[in-house]
Amino acid sequence: MEAETPLSTQPLTTEIQRLHQQALDLLDADPVQGLEILQQVFQLAGNHPTADPNLQAELAGCTITRGRLHLKNAAYTAALSDFQTAMQEFERLGKNCEKALARSYYGIGCAHMGDFADALEHLFQALKEVQELGDQLLTAEITNDICYTYVLLGQPELAIPHLHEAVQTLRALNEPMRLSWALDSLAMAYLHTGEPRRALEYETEAIQIAENIQTWQDQAVYLNNIGEIYLAQGDDSAALSAYQRALSVARRHNLTAEIAITLLNLGKLHTERGHYDAAEKDLNEALLLAQQTRRQPQVMEAYHALADLYEKSGKPAAALEMYKKYHAVFQTIYDQEADRRIKHLQVLHQLETLRRETEAFQKQALELQRKVEEQQRNQVKLEKLARTDSLTQSLNRRALFDTGQAAFQEARKTGQPLTLIMFDLDNFKEINDHYGHLVGDQVLTILVERIRHRLRSSDTLARYGGEEFTIIMPGITLEQGLRMAERVRGAVAESPIRIGGNRLNVTISLGVATASPPHFPHTFKELLRRADQALYAAKNSGRNCVKAFEG
């Protein structure tokens, strides 16, 4: 039998380019299938090794795409590994623009993981590199990425000047598609700084551009975003119209991911308006699409929205079932990502150490010291921002899990009890609907501050999500925790909140769960789940009460 004749470089490159484009086309529609296609690419390349620099550059581009697909699936450490590999490969090939692009994606991955110091460091380095190369388009794109990071960081006001600069550049370059991206980002930045009118102006222009150049996926995204802007203005009808238009565009062009996202938005809006049948129909279709395309973050969001729907529509058993499914998907994503991150951290640490040692030999000691000190100052500031809820100044969800896990391990080690109190504001939706979201935010801020003053210095108050908060109390038994919860409940109920000319009588519901020998849960997340169930029982018992977990 004759040996198999290897593919010549050109047909191999053509085939890899074809498969790469297929994977890119699936970036939003089905990222898991996109990853499967890229697996074929790397298998094909491994079977036909070549020194052709053009093919190697194409494979490095495939590595970036694989990282982007991992980002879509919330596999952040796998994404960082791919972007790091692509950076090194493009540097070896002398392709500096592509290296800067890979670096910018690495920065975005860091931002998704909450490592904002590294994110901004890499993004600004990428920006500097493309500016030195004179690439105005990449300059505008990376500027947009920097601004996205500022929004994730909770500082959208820092993004606005950069976005105006990017918009001006893209207008001058006559780049309508990228201009629409920048306008959309600018609109979202203004929305998050509390200026929905200005947001509406820029989002409207982005929608019009997308329609003119027929970039239908972008148009569907922008229509969903303008729906969010209308909601911020309190115009539910305009939001509904925008979502329905987005759904029409997405269905007409078979944009599966955007169909699912739009149905989620419609379902949530129908829930808030009390149209429960319509909400259930839209949310179940969104869930099915998310499951079919294997987009776990959307699956998780759909379960959470269905749980909220069933709770509001008086179906507690169905709501509890959806909450269980939501937590199961959340735990799967969280645990998988934690395992990947632990394995990957050692490699990243070695690479970072090597990079810093190389810089130390290349730069003068004084300049290096100045940069290190400046970075340390910024790191401290960013770490505090990354762990703090911007509205209430309590710890955020990420910090809750970090702090709670540490307290849980310490309690297990010492044999001391650990108690969690989970509470949320009763009828918070009615406050928002009647007085507006700004008053609602003020109520949360005042409420949290009052409760904080009643806690010990060793207790930790964190925002779990929305109007739901958690208190971590080391060394406190269940009985002590119940007494503390009752004191907090009574203090809130007996002290109306005054905002402007309004006197608001507010109450809270609280759930208490304790980890103590010999019945210690396996994980902190299990203890948190118990407190959540106790809170759910309190809500079902008429609100304004305290319930303990009964396992």
pLDDT tens-digit readout, 382-405: 666 667 888 888 888 888 999 999
Identify the pLDDT of residue 321: 85
How far apart are the C-alpha atoms of 71 and 322, rounded to whole Å? Answer: 25
Q: Is 276 exposed, middle or buried (0-12, 13-18, 19+ CB in 10 A)?
A: middle
Helix (H, G, I), strand (E, B) or coil at 389: coil
423: which strand partners?
Answer: 469, 510
Identify the pLDDT of residue 351: 43
Q: Above 50 in pLDDT, residue 350?
A: no
The first and second tokens of residue 160, run together, are 């606005």
Identify the pLDDT of residue 3: 38
Q: How large a percentage of the chain has pLDDT more than 70? A: 88
Q: Confidence band (pLDDT; 50, 70, 90) for 510? A: very high
- Domains of the chain: which residue ranges? 7-134, 336-383, 397-548
Return the CATH number of 397-548, one of 3.30.70.270, 3.40.50.300, 3.40.190.10, 3.50.50.60.
3.30.70.270
Identify the pLDDT of residue 518: 77
pLDDT tens-digit readout, 20-54: 999 888 887 788 888 999 999 899 888 777 778 88
pLDDT tens-digit readout, 395-438: 888 889 999 999 999 999 999 999 999 999 999 999 988 888 88
175 is catalytic: no
Same fold, 7-134 and 397-548: no
Q: Where do we find the tokens 């919860």?
A: 485
Identify the pLDDT of residue 379: 64
pTM above 0.75, yes or no: no
Mean pLDDT (whole number) for 95-116 = 86
Helix (H, G, I), strand (E, B) or coil at 471: strand
Return the CATH number of 7-134, one of 1.10.357.10, 1.25.40.10, 3.90.580.10, 3.40.50.2300.
1.25.40.10
How far apart are the C-alpha atoms of 314 and 394, rounded to whole Å? Answer: 31
The first and second tokens of residue 520, run together, are 């210690």
Q: Which of 272, 449, 467, 479 is catalytic?
A: 467
Mean pLDDT (whole number) for 492-504 = 89
Q: Above 50 in pLDDT, residue 1?
A: no
Tell me the chain's radius of gyration from C-alpha atoms.
26
The first and second tokens of residue 438, run together, are 């700004």
Q: Confidence band (pLDDT; 50, 70, 90) for 206? A: very high
Q: Above 50 in pLDDT, residue 346?
A: no
Sheet hosting strand 418-425, strand order edge to edge: 460-465, 468-474, 418-425, 508-515, 546-548
Q: Please report, as a single letter, which amino acid is at residue 301.
A: E
The first and second tokens of residue 320, run together, are 């509890």
Mean pLDDT (whole number) for 246-264 = 91
Q: Where do we find the tokens 């795409």?
A: 65
Q: Confidence band (pLDDT; 50, 70, 90) for 158? A: confident
Least confident of 35-39, 81-85, 250-254, 326-330: 326-330
Q: Above 50 in pLDDT, residue 4?
A: no
DSSP state of 380: H
In angstroms, the Cα distances linking 292 to 31, 265, 330, 335 are: 11, 19, 18, 22
DSSP state of 394: S
How far apart are the C-alpha atoms of 116 and 300, rounded to whole Å? Answer: 24
Averaged pLDDT of the chain: 85
Cα angle at 394 between 392 and 400, to 5 degrees?
135
Q: Above 80 in pLDDT, residue 296?
A: no
Identify the pLDDT of residue 373: 62
Least confident of 138-142, 188-192, 281-285, 544-548: 138-142
Q: Please report, as a single letter, which amino acid is at residue 271.
A: T
How far apart are the C-alpha atoms of 233 and 239, rounded to whole Å? Answer: 10
pLDDT tens-digit readout, 260-288: 999 999 999 999 999 999 999 999 999 99
Identify the pLDDT of residue 540: 94
Q: CB 342: neighbour CB atoms within 10 A?
A: 10
Higher pLDDT, residue 256 or 533: 533
Higher pLDDT, residue 170 or 536: 536
Q: Confidence band (pLDDT; 50, 70, 90) for 198? A: very high
Identify the pLDDT of residue 390: 80
Higher pLDDT, residue 254 or 345: 254
